[in-house]
Structure formats: structure tokens, C-alpha cells
């Protein structure tokens, strides 16, 4: 179902401004331009039914076909945030909570640090960017997408095969994002992220700046870092890097 700006505005009230489009190049790009051209007095959301050049971490293309997903960027003035810690993790937790509110039986989980997975397939991604006066939180969710390009069809999935009211899911997601970003305590966020992590106790391979390392994921710390026990028995605390293989 296509986005309806009037419905979205009525639901959000004075909490945030929202602009909904049929198709944009990328909600992240137009949000960045908005920040350059405007003074920010409240959160602003750009959402689209389709992105022609959607992207995620490291500029990788995020497939964003029309009407089967949710694609948005939330602009948060820095003075809106209780603290700027764990924003990617907070966004992931907000996404999962909104999803299970609409799909209670879906075992959606977190793949550290910015992906959402269902049945071992990626169904969502998050991209946070720091600007001088704001933070951008970009989110892409595959709601009912069934046909994916050949290069990602084995690793990409969707939440459902049915059409749903994307407006209602988007409203729920935005409200949970705004609430979680105003919260000063991170303990409940980390507890949720740890509980629904798909990597804990799994053997994984990480791609780091200085090479690759494999081992067993032992924990996710209060600061969002990941504890990895390497094949040599060494415990590594990882703040960055990318999981390139999970041995399910």
C-alpha cells in the first residue's frame, strides 16, 4: 500500500514533520540536503514508496522497489537526543518492536550491528550519519518484496508475502524511534538487542580494516561492542567491522 502523507501527518501531530514521496533517488540524500538548507526545530522524516538509488553501509545499493517496502530517513536535531550513544542499535530495536507489533509471530533478529534478519535472510538495514547539526537515521525494510535481483536473491528476504498498510507500520516505527531516542538509559535497549541477536554463540567471520578474523560470538557489551572468541582462544572486543559469514 502506498504512503499517504495526510494520514501520516495526522498520526504524528506536532511530534515531527513528515514528507512522503512516490519515488526519490534516496531519502538519505534529500534529508542531507534539507539539513543544509533549513534550520532544524523538530524531527523531520522523509519517506518514499520507492528509491531509485537507495543505499546502505559503505554505499552499497539497497534494493527499494515500489510499494513493497518502507524507506525512510529520520532527521534528529542533536539537541533532541538524550544521548547519542548506540543510535544504530536503538534504531534496530525500534524497528523490531514495530515489526512484531504488526507481525507478532515473526522471529526477527539483529545481525550486528545494522541489519535485521528473518529466517537467515536480511529483511532490513540501518544507516546512521552524523552531520554538524543533526543525525540522520536511514532505514529500509523489505515488507512484501518477493522478487529480488539475482545478486541478492539468496540472502534477501521479506516480512510477508501479503500487502499490508505501510502507513500504519511506518507510524508505529517512527513513534518507537522517537521514543527510544529520547530515552537516557541504554540498559533496556542493550538487553533487547542481546536477547534477539542472531549471532550469539554462532561461529562467524568478520571483515576488519586490517584483515579477517573468525571465531564464536560470546556477548554484546553495554557499549554495543561485540565480544568474539577467536579460533586461537583470544577474546577480542570489536567496535567496528562487518560479519561476512555466519555458520548457521
The whole-angstrom separation of Cα 1 and Cα 165 is 6
The whole-angstrom separation of Cα 80 and Cα 77 is 5
Residue 21 bridge partners (DSSP): 48
pLDDT digits (tens, 9 = 90+) for 47-97: 999 999 999 988 899 999 999 999 999 999 998 988 889 999 999 999 999
Residues 6+ apart with CB under 8 A from 67: 1, 2, 49, 50, 166
**Residue 1 pLDDT more than 80?**
no
CB 74 within 8 A of CB 177: yes
pLDDT digits (tens, 9 = 90+) for 94-134: 999 999 999 998 999 999 999 999 999 999 999 999 999 99
Which residue from 119, 117, 123, 167 is spatially nearest to 145, judged by alpha carbons? Answer: 123
Region 162-173 average pLDDT: 95
pLDDT for residue 83: 86
Enter the C-alpha cell of residue 244.
561476512
pLDDT digits (tens, 9 = 90+) for 15-54: 999 999 999 999 999 999 999 999 999 999 999 999 999 9
Enter the C-alpha cell of residue 112.
550486528
Enter the C-alpha cell of residue 206.
568478520
Q: Strand pairing of 17-24 and 44-51?
A: parallel
pLDDT digits (tens, 9 = 90+) for 173-228: 999 999 999 988 899 999 999 999 999 999 999 998 878 999 999 999 999 999 99
The whole-angstrom separation of Cα 15 and Cα 170 is 14
Burial degree of 170 (CB within 10 A; 0-12, 13-18, 19+): buried
pLDDT for residue 47: 98
- Positive or negative: CA dihedral 88, 89, 92, 98: negative
The whole-angstrom separation of Cα 78 and Cα 231 is 41
**Residue 151 pLDDT more than 80?**
yes
The whole-angstrom separation of Cα 168 and Cα 157 is 21
**Residue 168 pLDDT more than 90?**
yes
Amino acid at each position: 500500500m502506498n504512503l499517504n502523507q495526510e494520514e501520516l501527518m495526522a498520526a504524528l501531530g506536532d511530534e515531527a514533520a513528515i514528507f512522503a514521496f512516490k519515488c526519490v533517488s534516496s531519502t538519505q540524500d534529500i534529508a542531507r540536503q534539507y539539513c543544509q538548507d533549513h534550520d532544524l526545530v523538530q524531527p523531520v522524516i522523509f519517506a518514499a514508496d520507492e528509491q531509485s538509488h537507495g543505499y546502505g553501509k559503505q554505499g552499497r545499493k539497497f534494493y527499494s522497489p515500489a510499494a513493497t517496502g518502507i524507506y525512510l530517513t529520520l532527521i534528529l536535531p542533536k539537541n533532541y537526543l538524550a544521548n547519542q550513544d548506540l543510535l544504530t542499535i536503538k534504531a534496530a530495536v525500534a524497528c523490531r518492536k514495530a515489526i512484531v507489533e504488526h507481525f507478532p509471530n515473526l522471529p526477527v533478529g539483529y545481525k550486528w550491528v545494522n541489519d535485521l534478519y528473518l529466517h537467515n535472510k536480511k529483511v532490513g538495514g540501518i544507516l546512521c550519519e552524523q552531520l554538524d547539526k543533526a543525525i540522520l537515521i536511514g532505514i529500509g525494510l523489505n515488507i512484501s518484496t518477493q522478487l529480488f535481483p539475482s545478486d541478492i536473491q539468496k540472502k534477501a528476504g521479506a516480512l510477508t508475502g501479503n500487502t499490508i498498510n505501510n502507513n500504519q507500520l511506518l507510524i508505529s516505527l517512527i513513534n518507537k524511534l522517537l521514543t527510544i531516542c529520547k530515552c537516557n538509559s541504554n540498559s533496556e535497549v542493550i538487553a533487547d538487542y542481546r536477547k534477539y541477536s542472531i549471532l550469539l554463540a554462532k561461529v562467524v567471520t568478520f571483515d576488519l580494516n586490517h584483515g579477517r578474523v573468525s571465531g564464536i560470538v560470546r556477548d554484546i557489551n553495554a557499549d554495543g561492542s561485540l565480544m568474539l572468541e577467536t579460533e586461537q582462544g583470544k577474546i577480542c572486543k570489536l567496535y567496528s567491522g562487518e560479519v561476512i559469514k555466519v555458520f548457521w
